[in-house]
Amino acid sequence: MSSEIEQMCIAKGMRMTDQRRVIAKVLSNANDHPDVEEVYRRATDIDSRISIATVYRTVRLFEEAGILERHDFRVESGENRARFELVSEMHHDHLIDIEGGEVIEFHDKEIEELQKKIAEKHGYKLVDHRMELYGVKIR
């Protein structure tokens, strides 16, 4: 059976190679926000004939096709790797545990509404936004 992303690719008329199928599967199954290295690890685990260059090309392709969303979370270690997740029907933002690294997804209608209003107040139509909350667990 083909993965969720593979279906989307087919729907968009993309040429499906073994590599793309594997990467599509890895990303479809991910419920975290892996970076390219991690996708590469998981993909080569399934099929070793995949190069990191192809992973880079493929996540970019998927992103441009509106299948994946790219994030640049600010992270303690200062490493600057982009992380990816499947675009979901429901838009959401992220709360990042700066100690543990976990990422919690949330959606707040009220904030979204306020953001739109702020843009309008300044004479702008809001076309995108980025909101990341950074926190530490209360124990």
By CB under 8 A, residue 32 contacts a second copy: no
Write 20-28 long-range contacts (CB < 8 A, 24+).
Answer: 20/58, 22/46, 22/47, 22/50, 23/50, 23/54, 23/55, 23/58, 23/59, 24/62, 27/3, 27/59, 27/62, 27/68, 27/84, 27/86, 28/3, 28/4, 28/86
Taking CB under 7 A as the rule, which mask of x and - marks residues 1-40 in contact with DNA?
Answer: -------------xxxxxxx--------------xxx---
By CB under 8 A, residue 111 contacts a second copy: yes
Q: Which of 10, 25, 75, 31 is nearest to 55 (CA)?
A: 25
Tell which positions 67-106 bind DNA, by CB under 7 A.
79-82
Nearer to a second copy, 1 or 127 (CB): 127
Per CB under 8 A, the list member of 13, 53, 76, 125 interacting with a second copy is 125
Selection from DNA, a second copy, none that 111 binds (CB < 5 to 8 A by kind) is a second copy
User: Which residues contribute to the site for DNA (CB under 7 A)?
Assistant: 14-20, 35-37, 49-54, 56-58, 60, 79-82
